């Protein structure tokens, strides 16, 4: 099987590429960077206009993973950047696909559970409606999905993902860093729900979306047991053998985010999402509980993305 990963040069894209290559797929990585990728055949594009790269799409499964990292302050300029970095490549892909003799057999459109905003206590499955804001979360995600809806494919899955836990990525490294520095206590009120996922399960979910004809539409890529922020931080302290961690009230989080160049809403908001479609389809998570997932990652059993497993 041939798979094209648009925006596949980043950490998660390379994880997925390595996983698919491991099962024998021909993987093409579309990247705006001139730097070669470790996993997949590197094809350059500008992410805006149709070019010779579009020939790679013929008969291929397409995974649309384009977008700048969200770990930045929620200024109007940054929100525009986050939106543009997702919508422009999606429109270019849609234009390229419109010129194919046949529609793509399959599209896996990556998205985020942040599309539900700060959702509070309700348990959200795939039937939940997207929120109106915050603009840097739900606003960006809605624009991304709307732009990608123009990509023609015989079957499509919109994969709304939780926080993917993977060493070497900003989300994991910042959380682990706070714990190691003694700042791994409750963040904000501590009651906000965290929907999370081990990177190995993300790769397995992508494979399932490609291979299972019954899967289409919105699919939640998240572990079956979301946790509150206070449980996430306590579990990470146990795994990293740091029994004490200073709490960070909301005011401290907001103040510290200025120096980190980050958006405090990434920490202070939450969503209690469950993978209803995957569970109904019989998908089995390798790491369904948080402590075993974090132990696996911290112990190094999840190999770095630049190495073979």
188: its two tokens? 């904000």
Tell me if 146 is assigned to some domain.
yes
Question: In which residue are the tokens 């579990």 written?
Answer: 235
d(Cα 118, Cα 112) in Å, to the nearest integer?
13
Question: In which residue are the tokens 């470790």 written?
Answer: 38
pLDDT at 6: 98
Query: Residue 109: pLDDT above 60?
Result: yes
The phi and psi torsions of 11 (rounded to 5 degrees) equal -60, -50
Q: How many other C-beta atoms are found inside a 10 Å radius of the C-beta of residue 280?
A: 12
Lowest average pLDDT, out of 4-8, 201-205, 268-272, 299-303, goes to 299-303
53: its two tokens? 């790269």
CB 151 within 8 A of CB 302: no
Tell me if 14 is assigned to some domain.
yes
As to burial, measured by CB atoms within 10 angstroms (0-12 exposed, 13-18 middle, 19+ buried), residue 306 is exposed
Tell me if 308 is assigned to some domain.
no
Rounded mean pLDDT of 104-123? 97
pLDDT at 300: 75
Tell me if 158 is assigned to some domain.
yes
Tell me if 309 is assigned to some domain.
no
Q: How many domains does the chain have?
A: 1
Tell me if 121 is assigned to some domain.
yes
What range defines the domain where residue 187 resides?
2-302
Query: Residue 308: pLDDT above 60?
Result: no
The long-range contacts involving 91-95, CB below 8 angstroms and separated by at least 24 positions, are: 91/147, 91/150, 92/45, 92/47, 92/48, 92/49, 92/50, 93/6, 93/57, 93/62, 93/64, 93/148, 93/151, 94/147, 94/148, 94/150, 94/151, 94/152, 95/50
Tell me if 34 is assigned to some domain.
yes
Average pLDDT, rounded, for the chain: 95
Tell me if 250 is assigned to some domain.
yes
The CATH number of residue 238's host domain is 3.40.50.720
pLDDT at 113: 98
pTM above 0.75, yes or no: yes
């Amino acid at each position: 099987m041939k798979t094209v990963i648009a925006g596949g040069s980043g950490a998660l894209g390379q994880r997925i590429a390595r996983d698919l290559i491991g099962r024998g797929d021909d993987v093409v990585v579309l990247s705006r960077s001139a730097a070669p990728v470790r996993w997949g055949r590197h094809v350059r594009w500008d992410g805006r206009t149709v070019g010779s790269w579009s020939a790679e799409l013929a008969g291929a499964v397409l995974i649309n993973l384009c977008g700048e990292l969200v770990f930045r302050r929620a200024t109007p300029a940054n929100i525009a950047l986050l939106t543009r970095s997702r919508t422009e490549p999606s429109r270019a892909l849609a234009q390229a696909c419109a010129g194919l003799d046949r529609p793509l057999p399959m599209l896996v459109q990556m998205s985020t559970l942040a599309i539900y905003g700060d959702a509070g206590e309700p348990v959200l499955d795939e039937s939940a409606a997207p929120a109106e804001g915050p603009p840097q979360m739900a606003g960006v995600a809605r624009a991304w999905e709307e732009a990608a809806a123009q990509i023609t494919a015989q079957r499509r899955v919109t994969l709304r993902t939780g926080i993917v836990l993977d060493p070497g990525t900003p989300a994991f490294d910042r959380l682990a860093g706070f714990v190691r520095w003694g700042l791994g206590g409750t963040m904000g009120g501590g009651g906000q729900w965290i929907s999370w996922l081990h990177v190995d399960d993300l790769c397995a979910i992508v494979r399932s979306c490609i291979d299972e004809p019954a899967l289409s539409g919105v699919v939640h890529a998240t572990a079956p047991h979301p946790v509150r922020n206070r449980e996430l931080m306590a579990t990470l302290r146990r795994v990293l053998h740091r029994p004490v961690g200073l709490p960070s009230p909301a005011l401290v989080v907001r103040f510290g985010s200025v120096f980190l160049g980050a958006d405090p809403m990434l920490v202070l908001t939450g969503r209690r999402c469950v993978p209803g479609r995957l569970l109904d389809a019989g998908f089995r998570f390798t790491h369904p509980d948080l402590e075993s997932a974090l132990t696996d990652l911290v112990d190094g059993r999840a190999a770095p993305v630049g190495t073979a497993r």
